[in-house]
Structure 1
Amino acid sequence: MASDGGSSSLQLPCVFSPKPQQYLALCAQDGRLRIWNTDNKTLQQEYVPSAHLSATCTCIAWGPCRTVKDGPQRKKRKSEAVQVEERADLLAMGTAAGTVLIYSSVKGALHCTLDGGHTGGVNCVQWHPEDSLLYSGSDDTNITEWDLQSGKTRSVWKADRAAITSLCVSPDGKLLLSAGYVIKMWDLETKEIYRKFTGHSTAVTTLCFATTRPPDGNGLYFLSGAAHDRLLSVWQVRDDGKDKNSVVSFTLTDEPQHVDLVPSNSKEKAVRLAVVCKDGQLHLFEHFLNGPCKKPLSPTCSVQLSDTKDSPAPIPLLAAALGAEPRTVTLAYGNHLQPVMERVELNISERHICLTRDVHTSLSLSMETNISKVKTPLVNAKSKVLVPGFPGHKAPKGSSQTSEKRKKDNDTKEMSIAERLGEIDLAPVSLETGAPKNAPSLQTDNFAVLLVQGLESNDANILNKIFQTRKESVIRKTVARIQLSAVLPLVHEITTRLQGHPHSAKMMVMWLKSVLMHHTSYLASLPDLVSRLGVLYHMIENRVKLFHKLSKLHGKLHLLTTQMVTGTNSSPVTEVDCTAKLVYEEESSEDEVSGDEALPDEESDVSWEEEDETMEEEDEDSDRRESKTNGEEMEHGNESEEE
């Protein structure tokens, strides 16, 4: 069994166990490893890695079949000792945290954890066909060789400048193929490069050895497939070193996602190849590898599945495994959480085959046979089951008063759903102002239930009433309480309404914001998130591009309108009126004023003159006094001298 070793952002690991394909191991979006039994189509085991959200499983690979002891057994006789049963047991899982988990399907538990070999996420793991060795390639551009008996690394070497996306060990266990953008062939004993092959422009995701013959006779072939490439290239390892170009190429409808190959032992035996593409189709090839072939080879048979509805839709294939007979193929299709496994005999003479399957009935059958802890009781047909929510269930005795009130208030006839929806008023005015007590009000739970019903039935009336709410708290609680299955229909409804009138788009932005706040983790777990939200992203991006231009235009128009308004409101400038509004004239003192009234002015003049004269007289008196004092002092001074 060979499978793609590379990991893609939208590709989930899915691998059949080695022959005879008894188990199917896959990792779903929830991070759990599930192992399904292909014989009875039931879930065999389920494993949840610790901290699986931070260490997502990126690649898985089954180990070679080995003899496993299930438990204490009796001693076998000599006749029974020859019969040794080999089973597929160990499963290697590479994680995004750089660790490798080894899971045992027989024990149903983790066998060991290989840690410390990589500093980046593990992209591919590959088992050695004979020894208990494991090889892993990582984003840190290194290849690590693990010893499973000790659980430690044997050797680590740098293999490429880019991340290692695919690995493959030769059937004899002497050579190792590794690929990033360049395919390199290593000698496992010396860890030296044996050959280099270039021809892919993108990361190589698939490597498989097509022959088991030794490389010394120009008979060693291997094939490779890359991301975003619709060709599978076949390379020949030659002794003369002239193997720079691929010798054969197989055409596909999309990039390869899962590859199963039955190698060739001689030139007379053809190589059988089954390729599941990303678009969900299966292509079967059969070719004799005996040298170069210039023309690309088309598939001998292409298989596609569809459902049985009136408008049939394709069912994607997850993996395929070739059986012992040329016509038998084991298919796994449907959903990663609940796949459907089936062995089919195909008529290879037809170029295109379309198989119709009813996925729902096959899912229900497989779920019935699955082991479940919930047991449904066996009830007689005459007995009645009183369960809350079922007809015939009665309320407890404590609520007798409320039940009597309801009986009095309600009529004997029950109202239909349309009449109930008609009575519910979801207008924004009633939500803001508040309705009277007797008026019917809608709680947040009813909002969520009605929203899911409107999305499932695509009823425009219900959706219009719900989307009229403007309270952010109500919108947030409603979006938080809807089921995860209703998130994508709600996003599609919001996208269609955002493309409508700007007023409705303004309301839808609040709903979109609440959806992204509460359900981003669920949306991020979807494998086809880019295609589902592409219309919404491009619409938002186009509107944001126009926002800068519209803001500039709005500013210019605002300037023009303000100038026009100020121009119309301002009155025209006229000549200044020089005439006085009020004139004040003083009364004459000669004609009208009496003589007594004029006295103060005269007295004031006289008083000023008198003051001047008195001031002059005082100055003269002061000068005289000073002279007298000076004279007396002089006389006193003379008398003293005479004495």
Structure 2
Amino acid sequence: MAADGGSSSLAYPCAFSLKSRQYLAVCAQDGRLRIWDTHSNTLHQEYVPSAHLSATCTCIAWGPCRTDKEGPQRKKRRSEAMVAAERADLLALGTAAGSVLIYSTVKGALHCTLEGAHSGQVNSVRWHPEGGVLYSGAEDGHIAEWDLRSGKLRCKWKVDRSAVTSLCVSPDGRLLLSAGQTIKMWDLETKEVYRRFTGHSTAVTTLCFATTRPPDSDGLYFLSGAAHDRLLSVWQVRADGKDKNAVVSFTLTDEPLHIDLTASDSKDEAVRLAVVCRDGQLHLFEHILNGHCKKPLSPSCSVQVSSPGAVGVPGGDSPTPVPVLATALGQEKQALLLAYGNHTQPVIERTTVNTAERHVCLVRDVKATLTLTMETAISKVKTPVVNADAKVLVPGLPGHCAPVKSVPAEAEKRKQSSKTKEMSIEERLGEMDLTVSARKGGPVGASSLQTDSFAVLLVQGLESNDSNILNKVLQTKKEALIKKTVSRLPIPAVLPLVEELTKRMQGNPYSAVMMVRWLKAVLTLHASYLSTVPDLVGQLGVLYHLIESRVKMFHKLTRLHGKLYLLVTQVAASERSHTVTELDLTAKLVYEEDSSDEGEEGSGDEGLAEEDSDNWEEDEEEEMDETSDREKEGEEEEEMNVETKVNGDSDLEPENESEEE
């Protein structure tokens, strides 16, 4: 029973097939699924998912072995039937897009796709022992139960607020373990929590049942390993429910990535355990699970694979460690199946290890093994299967005469017409219209550039380093055309395109504006591939420093632009204030008051006085005389009033007074 290590970001998922251990499934950094034959150490099958770059594989699980029931059946011998029954077929792949791919090794193609249950990355997939049911746990915190016969979702339930990082189904198919930071045991019939286990401070990445006994017998144990944790904990499912703490712990040198064990069926049988750590070492344990153990257990044997030192190279005498990718225990105690080296081309070896020694170092020449396996694989793929009686004729050899076939006249005319229309690559480049005007109401005979030709021309220009072809392609301004071209670009041409864009961005600023569009499309559509390149920082260092320097200069230029704009506005304002304008003497408002008759007469007299300016002295003298006469009359009236008061005639009316006078 093996645990997948697909939830780790740095470790690529890999798993041996069940029972026979005939195949090793590996998902490398390029997103391709490769199935290796463990007997011949050659590539058996290769599958490239349609979204292998945007939705990479995150976890792998082999399904139970089954027979191939497709196609017409015939009577088989007993030996053939036994081989067919032990053959591994279905393989479940969890993806970063939330879907689950079911791949069939018998068909050599995709069996079905399970979608619509998860909104986040699938972290773990597990098969039910019956084989027709699959469970998946994802980042959205849900567990989905799939029916593979119909390819539909049976049910889905919420586990916790955090993500589900690991799953495991009990051997009897009644219980399911799920873990994020807390481990929960579910009853698959009722979908209710049966037990809870807490003790890990980080996300649990590995779960595996160690015994096949029922849970009520106090003999059911399971293992758990967490991220950044160097301990492998063993938990006991007790009938009284007092199972809060781990009963046994195994010490490791690093975080566990891949686990294989032989489960114990009785209390007296020991559990054999093989653990592959992140540092590339393999640790072997053997322990009888019969209760609590206070002291952590150290491995009985540690295995390290290394390559021999290079001769004649300074410091090359010391061996170089080779990481172990996966392992499987054999039927014998000392038998091991190892996969080590690189995920792209692993080396698979069946060996025996002396478990009596605490530390074992296996010296292997990985490069020589890789070259041999690559040559045999290529020869098997490239060599065609030809009948011994057939003759193979190659053009150019002496004695070769191709049979002349009679061709109808219409076909010859079509061929001649097609030949006359064919043009060389230079003529096509010369007549190529990058505006694609022929598609939108242009002339029918005009040449239109399609997206496929853009991608092909771009690859040709990058391989031949032809500036004319690159200028024709990279000068386009349509973002839709750029995105389609970059999306159809093959993976080996991505890094050369980034280098070419970096060179062109260092030139004219106008060309840099156009290159930024291409660079944005490359980083958006091929981000998953670029993130897997180990030395990407060194390759993109020039581009990063170029963009950073231009961004810093842009801030300085904006400040300078603001200061200059402020100075220009101040100078214009000062010039406006110094300019003197002529005063406007016209009245803004005229108010006319209504004049009376006396005023009109007075105004007429004033006008006459102004006209007779020569007699002004006489007028003044007359006015003086009139005022003196009025004063005298006033004095006389006052005297008369005094007299009347003295005589007692003050009560007389004014009219009588005038009569008496």
TM range, smaller chain: 0.5 to 0.7
Q: 2:329 aligns with which of 322, 327, 335?
A: 322
CA distance in 2, matches of 1:151, 1:31: 24
- CA positional deviation for 1:314: 1.5
- CA positional deviation for 1:49: 1.4
Residue number in structure 1 paired with 2:132: 132
- CA positional deviation for 1:330: 0.6
- CA positional deviation for 1:277: 0.8
- CA positional deviation for 1:264: 0.8
Any conservation in 2 of the 1:63–1:92 contact (CA below 8 Å)?
Answer: yes
CA distance in 1, matches of 2:252, 2:245: 19
CA distance in 1, matches of 2:124, 2:85: 29
- CA positional deviation for 1:80: 8.2
- CA positional deviation for 1:4: 2.8
Structure-2 change in CA distance of 1:515 and 1:151 (3 Å): closer
- CA positional deviation for 1:369: 2.6
Structure 2 residue runs of 5 or longer lacking an equivalent are 311-315, 387-395, 397-458, 476-485, 503-515, 560-613, 615-661
SS of residue matched to 1:144: strand
Which 10-residue stretch deviates more, 252-261 or 183-192? 252-261
Structure-2 change in CA distance of 1:263 and 1:58 (3 Å): same
Residue number in structure 2 paired with 1:346: 353
SS of residue matched to 2:369: helix
Residue number in structure 2 paired with 1:108: 108
Structure-2 change in CA distance of 1:347 and 1:218 (3 Å): same
Identity %: 65
CA distance in 1, matches of 2:370, 2:493: 18
Q: What CA deviation, in whole Å up to 9, does each residue of 1:252-295 have, x standing for no partner?
A: 11111111111111111111111111111111111111111111
CA distance in 2, matches of 1:304, 1:530: 24
CA distance in 2, matches of 1:314, 1:486: 32
- CA positional deviation for 1:157: 0.5
Aligned counterparts, 1:391-406, within 5 A: none
Residue number in structure 2 paired with 1:460: none
CA distance in 2, matches of 1:295, 1:516: 57
Any conservation in 2 of the 1:184–1:194 contact (CA below 8 Å)?
Answer: yes
The one-letter amino acid of 2:265's match is N
SS of residue matched to 1:216: helix
The one-letter amino acid of 2:113's match is T
Residue number in structure 2 paired with 1:366: 373
Structure-2 change in CA distance of 1:68 and 1:78 (3 Å): closer
Any conservation in 1 of the 2:19–2:86 contact (CA below 8 Å)?
Answer: no
Q: 1:334 aligns with which of 330, 337, 341?
A: 341
Residue number in structure 2 paired with 1:18: 18
CA distance in 1, matches of 2:239, 2:331: 33
Structure-2 change in CA distance of 1:43 and 1:187 (3 Å): same
Q: What CA deviation, in whole Å up to 9, does each residue of 1:548-568 have, x standing for no partner?
A: 9xx99xx9xxxxxxxxxxxxx
- CA positional deviation for 1:72: 3.7
CA distance in 2, matches of 1:334, 1:367: 14
- CA positional deviation for 1:102: 1.0
Residue number in structure 2 paired with 1:155: 155
Residue number in structure 1 paired with 2:433: none
- CA positional deviation for 1:528: 7.1
The one-letter amino acid of 2:90's match is L
Aligned counterparts, 1:74-223, within 5 A: 74-76=74-76, 85-223=85-223
The one-letter amino acid of 2:356's match is S
The one-letter amino acid of 2:382's match is K
Any conservation in 2 of the 1:317–1:333 contact (CA below 8 Å)?
Answer: yes
Q: What CA deviation, in whole Å up to 9, does each residue of 1:134-190 have, x standing for no partner?
A: 100011111011111111111110011111110000001000000011100000000
CA distance in 2, matches of 1:106, 1:484: 31
- CA positional deviation for 1:309: 3.2
The one-letter amino acid of 1:321's match is A
SS of residue matched to 1:364: helix
Any conservation in 1 of the 2:211–2:263 contact (CA below 8 Å)?
Answer: yes
The one-letter amino acid of 2:294's match is K
Structure-2 change in CA distance of 1:216 and 1:531 (3 Å): farther
Any conservation in 1 of the 2:5–2:12 contact (CA below 8 Å)?
Answer: no
Structure-2 change in CA distance of 1:535 and 1:484 (3 Å): closer
The one-letter amino acid of 1:99's match is S
SS of residue matched to 1:205: strand
- CA positional deviation for 1:514: 13
CA distance in 2, matches of 1:125, 1:536: 36
CA distance in 2, matches of 1:154, 1:65: 23
Q: What CA deviation, in whole Å up to 9, does each residue of 1:555-609 have, x standing for no partner?
A: 9xxxxxxxxxxxxxxxxxxxxxxxxxxxxxxxxxxxxxxxxxxxxxxxxxxxxxx
CA distance in 1, matches of 2:130, 2:61: 15
Structure-2 change in CA distance of 1:254 and 1:79 (3 Å): closer
CA distance in 2, matches of 1:78, 1:169: 32
SS of residue matched to 2:216: helix
1:281 and 2:290 are equivalent in the alignment: no
The one-letter amino acid of 1:336's match is H
- CA positional deviation for 1:516: 8.2
Structure-2 change in CA distance of 1:153 and 1:345 (3 Å): same
Structure-2 change in CA distance of 1:530 and 1:362 (3 Å): closer
Structure-2 change in CA distance of 1:296 and 1:528 (3 Å): farther
- CA positional deviation for 1:238: 0.8
Structure 1 residue runs of 5 or longer lacking an equivalent are 378-385, 387-444, 452-471, 495-512, 556-618, 620-643
Aligned counterparts, 1:517-528, within 5 A: 525=529
CA distance in 1, matches of 2:149, 2:75: 27
Q: What CA deviation, in whole Å up to 9, does each residue of 1:407-461 have, x standing for no partner?
A: xxxxxxxxxxxxxxxxxxxxxxxxxxxxxxxxxxxxxx9xx99x9xxxxxxxxxx
Any conservation in 1 of the 2:220–2:237 contact (CA below 8 Å)?
Answer: yes
Q: Which of 1 and 2 has greater Rg? A: 2
Residue number in structure 1 paired with 2:251: 251
Structure-2 change in CA distance of 1:519 and 1:274 (3 Å): farther
What is the RMSD of the two structures over their aligned residues, measured on CA atoms?
5.1
Q: What CA deviation, in whole Å up to 9, does each residue of 1:219-264 have, x standing for no partner?
A: 0000100111111110001111111111111111111111111111
- CA positional deviation for 1:519: 8.2
CA distance in 1, matches of 2:537, 2:79: 65
Q: What CA deviation, in whole Å up to 9, does each residue of 1:191-216 have, x standing for no partner?
A: 00000001111111100000001111
Q: What CA deviation, in whole Å up to 9, does each residue of 1:478-513 have, x standing for no partner?
A: xx99x969979x99xx9xxxxxxxxxxxxxxxxxx9
SS of residue matched to 1:275: strand
Q: What CA deviation, in whole Å up to 9, does each residue of 1:82-119 have, x standing for no partner?
A: 88732211111111121111111111111111122222
CA distance in 1, matches of 2:80, 2:300: 44
CA distance in 2, matches of 1:62, 1:32: 17
CA distance in 1, matches of 2:376, 2:494: 29
CA distance in 2, matches of 1:260, 1:278: 15
Any conservation in 2 of the 1:3–1:260 contact (CA below 8 Å)?
Answer: yes
SS of residue matched to 2:173: coil
SS of residue matched to 1:372: helix
TM-score, normalised relative to structure 1: 0.62
CA distance in 2, matches of 1:105, 1:334: 24
Any conservation in 2 of the 1:6–1:204 contact (CA below 8 Å)?
Answer: no
Structure-2 change in CA distance of 1:257 and 1:315 (3 Å): same
SS of residue matched to 2:3: coil
CA distance in 2, matches of 1:79, 1:163: 46
SS of residue matched to 1:363: helix
Any conservation in 2 of the 1:484–1:522 contact (CA below 8 Å)?
Answer: no
Q: What CA deviation, in whole Å up to 9, does each residue of 1:324-345 have, x standing for no partner?
A: 1111111111111111111010
Which 10-residue stretch deviates more, 241-250 or 185-194? 241-250
Any conservation in 2 of the 1:306–1:313 contact (CA below 8 Å)?
Answer: yes
